[in-house]
Amino acid sequence: MSVPLRAVQLNEANAFLKKHPEVLYVDLLIADMNGVVRGKRIERTSLHKVYEKGINLPASLFALDINGSTVESTGLGLDIGDADRICYPIPGTLSIEPWQKRPTAQLLMTMHELEGEPFFADPREVLANVVRKFDELGLTICAAFELEFYLIDQDNVNGRPQSPRSPVSGKRPVSTQVYLIDDLDEYVDCLQDILEGAKEQGIPADAIVKESAPAQFEVNLHHVSDPVKACDYAVLLKRLVKNIAYDHEMDTTFMAKPYPGQAGNGLHVHISILDKEGNNIFASEDPEQNAALRHAIGGVLETLPAQMAFLCPNVNSYRRFGAQFYVPNSPSWGIDNRTVAVRVPTGSADAVRIEHRVAGADANPYLLMASVLAGIHHGLTNQIEPGAPVEGNSYEQNEQSLPNNLRDALRELDDSEVMARYIDPMYIDVFVACKESELAEFENSISDLEYNWYLHTV
């Protein structure tokens, strides 16, 4: 970090501590490959040292599987002596944790080599590398997420989740009731605390809607003209939602498909692009006639099979797909059509944008964003046409063609020459190694259903 930047950050720390003399601790946070937040807790007196010198964490933090164990085949564990790298604060992310009983703040970090260069395996840096390609074209990306989650009971039933009892009626919800305002009222204190906590932390969340299953909700984030920051907000929002729910004696899940027969949790991203004069290059009275929009969509659709491992990174991710749940299973696009992979919402001409509807809430936001932007850049620079937009039900017109399991998705990613031009092949190797390790462990397990079917019958 440069000296001027360090001075600015120290001023940020000084101003925050002066404003919040009650703060006792600061959580230093960094999101791993799975989007799981890890890090250290320090006393407030150590905050200046963090800004001046950073903190050490092992490089293997980005080679952890979903259970937090190092995947040695990545080469980031014992092969390098489980060596440390240095993590520096991300400006503008120092904020209060409103759920803590002992006043505590939080600060996002990003990992660097000891010599100062960004560490290649930090997903935040993976995204930053893609964004730089747009910077070279003089283009600015505006982005926003829609994040779905379930409120669940803190007590499960035989290891399975269940909806929490309403603090208002005492009943467990059982019906879908999409957009029902009364269901928001059933959990109003928790949901309002989420919005108020987001405001306190500077997270631009402006609305919560009831989604398509019992106790399922969606939080909408405002668009920001920095896709990396948009992902920072998504990571912090998930942590906020979880902890506010705990305060209300409930739990949450962002698992892609927690309930058979119910909708899964999605993570939709909206993207528009501004030129050097600040004009939206997708703006059009007739989106189908906008060449930049068509080419961007064409690139996304062409690369979508190779993106799937980043969009749907877990075994459970692929259980979310199904026509009745509005999860697209083919590379398709349309105007104001929720059955397609890439939707162009209707509205004012200046607000035309891409809504990418494939990823689950279990995706790492940085890797999701990097994938979609890679597709957009590929389409813009190669003028790829997407074909005609789908009108009506895409599921009836297009056969399922996207990878429908993690193994096939990893193969598509590993074999993609286009994705390797945008995502460091060394990072792709690390990601694939971690996910293949998880997949092998999953496939070596024996499910209850297998015992029920085969133990006494064959």
- To which residue do tokens 């026509």 refer? 323
What is the phi/psi pair of residue 133, to 5°? -65, -30
Cα(284)–Cα(287) distance, integer angstroms:
5
Using CA atoms of 153, 202, 423, 73 in order, give the dihedral in degrees to the nearest 10. Answer: -50
pLDDT for the residue 159? 85
Give 334's Cβ-side CA count (13 Å radius): 19
Contact between residue 131 and residue 227 where contact means Cβ atoms under 8 Å apart: yes
pLDDT for the residue 3? 45
Burial (CB count within 10 angstroms: exposed 0-12, middle 13-18, buried 19+), residue 40: middle
pLDDT for the residue 326? 78
Cα(330)–Cα(339) distance, integer angstroms:
10
Q: What is the pLDDT of residues 282-291, one digit of tens each?
A: 999 999 999 9
Q: What is the pLDDT of residues 334-366, one digit of tens each?
A: 999 999 999 999 888 999 999 999 999 999 999
Q: Which residues of the chain have pLDDT under 70?
A: 1-8, 175-182, 323
What is the helix (H) or strand (E) element at residue 47, kind and residue range? helix 47-53
Q: What is the pLDDT of residues 109-125, one digit of tens each?
A: 999 999 999 999 999 99
Contacting residues for 166 by C-beta, under 8 A, at least 6 apart: 172, 173, 186, 187
The type of residue at 236 is L
Domains in the chain, please, with CATH?
A: 10-117 (3.10.20.70), 132-423 (3.30.590.10)
CA angle 301, 305, 307 (to 5 degrees): 90
Contacting residues for 101 by C-beta, under 8 A, at least 6 apart: none
The type of residue at 356 is H
Contact between residue 325 and residue 273 where contact means Cβ atoms under 8 Å apart: no
What tokens does 41 get?
């807790």
